[in-house]
Amino acid sequence: MSVSAIVLAAGEGTRMRSSRPKPLHMICGRAMVLHVIHALEKLHPERTAVVVGHGAEQVTKKVHEFAPDWANVAFVEQVEQNGTGDATSIGMTAFDGDDYDDESTIVVLNGDAPLLRPETLDELVATHVANGNAATLLTSVMDDPTGYGRVVRKTDGQVLRIVEQRDASPEELDIKEWNTGIYAFRRDLLGPALRGLTTDNTQGEYYLTDVVSVLAGMGHRVGCVQAPTAETQGVNDRWQLALAERELRARTNRRWLLNGVTMLDPRQTFIDVTVTIGRDVTLYPGTMLQGSTVVGDRCEIGPDAQLVDCAVGSDATVTHTVGTDAEIGTGAVVGPYAHLPAGSSVTSDATTGAFYTASGA
């Protein structure tokens, strides 16, 4: 069964209080929307339609430059912000053919959910296909889901509808299961349901959530897959951005620890998801490895070292050093308090001594 994806990345994100488009805010060295695209890795979509709007040119340029080839990204623009249903309809225009007899799976995701795991989306699609669902929601449960749409179920456990916070009754507001805005749909059923949406709601927008009640009302099966809230919550302001960064850094550090890297204090070690590290490397507190930095085997980095887009040869020692786009040779000893500007290099087996400043390119 083929899979395509629609990533909704048209929002302005006013609560970020930033001139930067919301999908381009960085988490662990990668823009939020690119984390979402990478979460599709196990699905290998035939096409990933990224719906852009606010800052469309900036978002398109960044995603085009850094998205993995396997994502097969295409871009469509939502000129007017008329809701998630409208954005999804626009996203559908990126796919070849029509939707009338195409039973393939369309995954719809928000561009501000950077903590999604590929395994979760794989489970969502597998459950969707195995049960012959018209739609399958990714949901989470939390004690206080204020602000999120609630999932209203039938007595048999299938989903009846999603009710937005502002449209919910007092009884519906007591529901703890909330809609994450991540779905798998059958394409031949999604298209017609989208064309039947109306703006009869408090926001005057086309809600993608209304597709669920349309499909359920027609007798189609709508199911759910639950995922941890820590993985599904979106990022809407700088506080949530910081929390997401902390969670993703913890995941990243754990992966490297299990892959043969020693960290004296993981809470004080900062590694971008784009960094590569060899075996038997020791990272001391205050180490920051950023960008495309590559660290060879058996190196000792830190304390208090910041390396951005640097290449460090095996068996090197780097202490109290700041480097950007620099090369450190095998077995070199750099620092303490060294500065390696862009284009500079330290030869193999060299010792810089204290307060060393290399010559740039």
Percentage of the chain modeled with pLDDT above 70: 99
Rounded CA-CA distance 331/312 in Å is 9
Looking at the structure of the chain, the number of domains it has is 2
Residue 327 has pLDDT above 90, yes or no: yes
Claim to verify: residue 287 and residue 143 sit in the same structural domain: no
Claim to verify: residue 265 and residue 157 sit in the same structural domain: no
Give residue 331's pLDDT band: very low, low, confident or very high (50, 70, 90): very high
How many Cβ atoms are within 10 Å of 260's Cβ, its own excluded? Answer: 12
Cα dihedral value 328, 332, 333, 336, nearest 10:
-20
Claim to verify: residue 72 and residue 170 sit in the same structural domain: yes
Interacting residues of 113 by C-beta distance below 8 A, sequence separation 6+: 36, 39, 180, 181, 182, 232, 233, 234, 235
With left for phi above 0 and alpha for psi between -120 and 50, is residue 318 left, alpha or beta? Answer: beta
The pLDDT value recorded for residue 166 is: 84
Claim to verify: residue 96 and residue 226 sit in the same structural domain: yes
Assess whether 30 carries a catalytic annotation: no
Task: Give a yes or no: residue 160 inside a domain.
Answer: yes
Claim to verify: residue 104 and residue 13 sit in the same structural domain: yes
Rounded CA-CA distance 292/312 in Å is 11
Residue-wise burial string across 298-333, b where 16 or more C-beta atoms lie within 10 A, e elsewhere: bbbbbbbbbbbbbbbbbbbbbbbbbbbbbbbbbbbb
CATH number of 291's domain: 2.160.10.10
pLDDT digits (tens, 9 = 90+) for 190-228: 999 999 888 887 778 898 999 999 999 999 999 999 999
Task: Please say whether the beta carbons of 135 and 184 come within 8 A.
Answer: yes
Task: Give a yes or no: residue 317 inside a domain.
Answer: yes
CA distances from 148 to 90, 109, 157, 178, 181 (A): 24, 15, 20, 6, 9
Helix (H) or strand (E) holding 339: strand 338-340
Percentage of the chain modeled with pLDDT above 90: 84
Mean pLDDT of 310-325: 98
How many Cβ atoms are within 10 Å of 361's Cβ, its own excluded? Answer: 9
The pLDDT value recorded for residue 165 is: 86
Task: Give a yes or no: residue 267 inside a domain.
Answer: yes
Domain region containing 327: 259-346
Task: Give a yes or no: residue 23 inside a domain.
Answer: yes
Mean pLDDT of 89-99: 90
Residue 361 has pLDDT above 70, yes or no: no
Helix (H) or strand (E) holding 328: strand 327-328
Claim to verify: residue 225 and residue 272 sit in the same structural domain: no
Q: Is residue 114 reached through a cis peptide bond, with omega within 30 degrees of 0 on the bond before it?
A: no
Q: What is the C-alpha radius of gyration for the chain, rounded to an integer number of angstroms?
A: 23
Mean pLDDT of 148-166: 89
- The 3-state DSSP class for residue 238 equals helix
Helix (H) or strand (E) holding 223: strand 222-226
- Packing angle between helix 187-195 and helix 210-217, nearest 10 degrees? 110
CA distances from 290 to 28, 39, 81, 196, 235 (A): 8, 21, 35, 47, 22
Q: One of 15, 166, 254, 255 is an active-site residue; which one?
A: 15
Rounded CA-CA distance 12/5 in Å is 21
Structure tokens at 319: 């202490």
The conformation of residue 134, written as its DSSP 8-state character, comes to: S
Of 319, 323, 301, 297, give the one whose Cα is nearest residue 310: 323
Give residue 290's pLDDT band: very low, low, confident or very high (50, 70, 90): very high
Mean of pLDDT over the chain = 94
Tell me which of 108 and 359 has the higher pLDDT. Answer: 108
Would the CA dihedral through 328, 334, 336, 337 be positive or negative?
A: negative
CATH number of 37's domain: 3.90.550.10
The pLDDT value recorded for residue 211 is: 94
Domain end, chosen from 215, 232, 249, is at 232
Residue 99 has pLDDT above 90, yes or no: no
Tell me which of 202 and 32 has the higher pLDDT. Answer: 32
Stated pTM of the model: 0.93
Of 173, 133, 181, 131, give the one whose Cα is nearest residue 152: 173
Residue 13 has pLDDT above 90, yes or no: no
Claim to verify: residue 37 and residue 100 sit in the same structural domain: yes
Claim to verify: residue 165 and residue 274 sit in the same structural domain: no
Mean pLDDT of 285-313: 98
Tell me which of 150 and 359 has the higher pLDDT. Answer: 150
The pLDDT value recorded for residue 202 is: 74
With left for phi above 0 and alpha for psi between -120 and 50, is residue 297 left, alpha or beta? Answer: beta
